[in-house]
Amino acid sequence: MKKPIIAGNWKMNKTNADTKALITELIPLVKDAECEVVCCVPFTDIVTARKAARGTNIKIGAQNVHWAEKGAFTGEISAEMLKELKVTYVITGHSERRQYFAETDETVNKRTKAALAAGLKVIVCVGETLAERESNKTAEVVTRQTIGALADISKQDLKRIVIAYEPVWAIGTGRTATAQDANDTIKIIRRVVRKLYGRASANSLRIQYGGSMNPKNAAELMAMPQIDGGLIGGASLKAEDFAKVVNYNK
């Protein structure tokens, strides 16, 4: 059985003081969760988050990583730096990175490989824009993004990858993909992975849904056979809301 994974993506929210308060409030609320619980925090909050979550079932992740080992890349963070801070996960290819920071399938792949090489687990995001969906390009886009992100990644390393399907039009808009639509697109993504790695690897890969997932719709989304977790933005910023998503089955 795959263990579902519910991850919060805090984006550019929360100071160190906020981080300590939020994690502390979250700990008792999620301690009996049956899924894996992750908080992907800003780089500057990692140390505080790790310290606050020590000895609990909350794992800490980062939101981006550079592909080079070191060097003249002002403003970037290497996989080694993250590893030293003992983060478990890192997100790559988030649509906000693709949209505002010129992230491409190639750079997403490079970042993913660097993270894997350092021993980290990676949440790789894919998803179509509204214009792409309206011109019936969803399958084409998620196929291209999935193949691109996974280029040159071994079957062994795939075990440390989670894919997050996040339709861009559902992010921060309050507009969720219907559970059926999310399930159908995730099925397409899984089929791509099956072609690349075989049935067993595709079936054991966890694929999350992300985009306005919240306490109200989490149970319905998580009940879909293809959906193995959630990547939560807005609703991960309040302990009570995030805990309700984490405890979707209770």
Q: Which residues are catalytic?
A: 94, 166
State the minimum distance, in angstroms, from the CB of residue 247 to ligand 13P: 17
**DSSP type of residue 66:** B
User: By the 8 A CB rule, do 203 and 186 touch?
Assistant: no
State the minimum distance, in angstroms, from the CB of residue 89 to ligand 13P: 12
Question: For residue 26, what are the contacts with CB-CB under 8 A and spacing of at least 6?
Answer: 39, 58, 239, 242, 243
Nearer to ligand 13P, 63 or 109 (CB): 63
Q: Of 105, 88, 80, 169, nearest to 131 (Cα)?
A: 169
The rounded distance, in Å, linking the Cα atoms of 238 and 232 is: 11
Q: φ, ψ for residue 119 (rounded to 5)?
A: 95, 10
Residues β-bridged to residue 78: 66
How open is the CA angle 123-203-206, to the nearest 5 degrees? 20
State the minimum distance, in angstroms, from the CB of residue 71 to ligand 13P: 28
The rounded distance, in Å, linking the Cα atoms of 237 and 69 is: 32
Nearer to ligand 13P, 94 or 111 (CB): 94
Nearer to ligand 13P, 48 or 63 (CB): 63
Tokens of 105: 């399938």
State the minimum distance, in angstroms, from the CB of residue 173 to ligand 13P: 7
CA dihedral 218, 236, 167, 204 (to 10 degrees): -70
Nearer to ligand 13P, 24 or 173 (CB): 173
Chain residue at closest Cβ approach to ligand 13P: 233
User: By the 8 A CB rule, do 77 and 66 touch?
Assistant: yes
Binding site for ligand 13P (CB under 6 A): 9, 94, 166, 171-172, 210-213, 231-235
Nearer to ligand 13P, 9 or 247 (CB): 9
State the minimum distance, in angstroms, from the CB of residue 155 to ligand 13P: 26
